[in-house]
Amino acid sequence: MSFGIDDLPVRDELRGKSPYGAPQLDVPVRLNTNENPYPLPEPLVERITERVRQAARHLNRYPDRDAVELRTRLAEYLTKTAGHPVAAENVWAANGSNEVIQQLLQTFGGPGRTAIGFEPSYSMHGLIARGTGTGWISGPRGEDFTIDLAAAEKAIAEHRPDVVFITTPNNPTGNAVPPETVLALYEAAQAAKPSMVVVDEAYIEFSHGDSLLRLLDGRPNLVVSRTMSKAFGAAGLRLGYLAAHPAVVDAVQLVRLPYHLSAITQATALAALEHTDTLLKYVERLKAERDRLVAELRALGYDVTESDANFVQFGRFEDSHAAWREILDRGVLVRDNGVPGWLRVTAGTPAENDAFLDAVRDIKKEQS
Ligand code: PMP
């Protein structure tokens, strides 16, 4: 018997657990991880190269620990797109919004504390809670995947969590949470005990509705988390950020590793932010493709959850894993998130979406 993980003195709460892992399979059409299908435009690639070359000349030094220039540009982007003033002191950046979430849980969660999410939702919230020793509470969602306010308020009153996650648009279901619901949950969380409410807006640029950044005023326990992985088409960059009261930005400094954001990452993100207008044009294309997927899947007779994201949840399947496999057999990788009866497909290029629609059409034909 070979030596394995179970032979190591790993923490009890990690025993028998699996790491996060969407399959990275070599398949012609990959629509499974909500990536943006469009490679960065060539002028932006050039600009990244210039900025990185410049940064490389100073790699003997540690990077700007407070990433001031980057936070200033991110604040400008938020102010421009959300129509709500955000300053650099309201913004904090890290290696992907996963790291932002980890820093928030290290700061406001931890041993003896709890966090709640309304599931099915982004599975990493619970996994990062576990990794930071924060107790995880799986809050309820309705049959139609909306948050049932009364049930959610009851769960908050009962468990008095230290951190409340609200993902809008939600992953994997795709639907957005109405601002009134977010406000009511914020009030419920403050009434139970002063707790932090983290609104995960990873997909907000694809939404029909507005960002909730405007709710930050006068709500110091509210945090909006964002990423450059989706709308900016830069999942490989690993750049996430948050907007909140400056006190929250001060608080996460207590747990961030010094110089966590490399000079190369900061240079690349700054280059991408110079090309925001071009990148947001791809978002418009993807929104149109998302709407086409919704319409065509419905026309084929599938149930489709309303989507405000760059992906679509569709069903219902008696055996969703078998359905996932049938689509994969036709060269298209979608995602089985473990939501019984449902699968999720990311909006790709028009050609990729056609390949996906051909695959499901073919499956329907075989069944009839
Ligand atoms: N939040 C949500 C809701 C997500 O779906 C994802 C990525 N799948 C993330 C956060 C993390 O994104 P990243 O770490 O790439 O910024």
Domains (range + CATH), the chain: 23-40+277-367 (3.90.1150.10), 42-274 (3.40.640.10)
Q: How confident is the model at residue 16 (pLDDT cuts 50, 70, 90)?
A: confident
**What average pLDDT does this structure show over 309-323?**
96
Residue 21: pLDDT over 80: no
Residue 336 has φ and ψ, to the nearest 5°, of: -105, 105
Tens of pLDDT, residues 160-194: 999 999 999 999 999 999 999 999 999 999 997 89
Beta bridge partners of 335: 344
How many angstroms separate the CA atoms of 205 and 26, rounded? Answer: 29
Q: Judge if the beta carbon of residue 200 lies within 6 A of ligand 1.
A: yes
User: Tokens in use for 108?
Assistant: 């406001």
**Out of 18-32, 65-79, 147-161, 163-177, least confident range:** 18-32
**Residue corresponding to tokens 């405000």:** 308
Tens of pLDDT, residues 29-49: 999 999 999 999 999 999 999
Q: Which atom of ligand 1 is nearest to the CA of 240?
A: 16
Q: What is the 80 CA–ligand 1 centroid distance (Å)?
A: 22
* Count of alpha carbons within 13 angstroms of residue 78, beta-carbon side: 30
Among 104, 105, 94, which Cα is nearest to 239's?
A: 94
Tens of pLDDT, residues 128-143: 999 999 999 999 999 9
User: Which sign does the torsion angle of CA 52, 227, 79, 164 carry?
Assistant: negative
Q: Judge if the beta carbon of residue 167 lies within 6 A of ligand 1.
A: yes
Tens of pLDDT, residues 72-85: 999 999 999 988 89
Element (H, E) at 263: helix 263-274
Q: What residue owns the CA closest to ligand 1's atom 2?
A: 202
- Indicate the DSSP class of residue 4: -
How many angstroms separate the CA atoms of 347 and 31, rounded? Answer: 7
**Residue corresponding to tokens 């994969």:** 328
Residue 334: pLDDT over 70: yes
**3-state secondary structure (DSSP) of residue 267:** helix
Q: Judge if the beta carbon of residue 227 lies within 6 A of ligand 1.
A: yes
Q: What residue owns the CA closest to ligand 1's atom 6?
A: 202
Q: Is the peptide bond before 120 cis (omega within 30 degrees of 0)?
A: yes
**What average pLDDT does this structure show over 204-222?**
96
How many angstroms separate the CA atoms of 162 and 259, rounded? Answer: 28
Q: How confident is the model at residue 24 (pLDDT cuts 50, 70, 90)?
A: confident
Tens of pLDDT, residues 296-306: 999 999 999 99
The dihedral region occupied by 331, where left means phi > 0, alpha psi between -120 and 50, and beta the remainder, is: left
338 contacts 362 by C-beta, under 8 angstroms: no
Degrees, nearest 5: CA angle 170-171-175: 40
Element (H, E) at 167: strand 163-167
108-139 per-residue burial string, b: 16 or more CB within 10 A, e: under 16: bbbeebbbbbbbbbbbbbbbbbbbbebbbbeb
Tens of pLDDT, residues 264-292: 999 999 999 999 999 999 999 999 999 99
Q: Judge if the beta carbon of residue 32 lies within 6 A of ligand 1.
A: no
Residue 92 has φ and ψ, to the nearest 5°, of: -135, 145
State residue 35's pLDDT score: 94
Residue 1: pLDDT over 70: no
Among 105, 134, 113, which Cα is nearest to 223's?
A: 105
Q: What is the 97 CA–ligand 1 centroid distance (Å)?
A: 6
Q: Which atom of ligand 1 is nearest to the CA of 228?
A: 16
State residue 367's pLDDT score: 83
**3-state secondary structure (DSSP) of residue 182:** helix
Q: Which pairs from 125-130 meet CB under 8 Å and 24+ separation? A: 125/101, 125/165, 125/167, 125/200, 127/20, 128/98, 128/101, 128/102, 129/105, 129/163, 130/13, 130/14, 130/17
Helix axes 179-192, 149-159, angle to 10 degrees: 20
Q: What is the pairing mode between strands 196-200 and 29-30?
A: unpaired
How many angstroms separate the CA atoms of 18 and 211, rounded? Answer: 33
Q: Please state, rounded to an integer, the average pLDDT across all residues of the chain.
A: 96
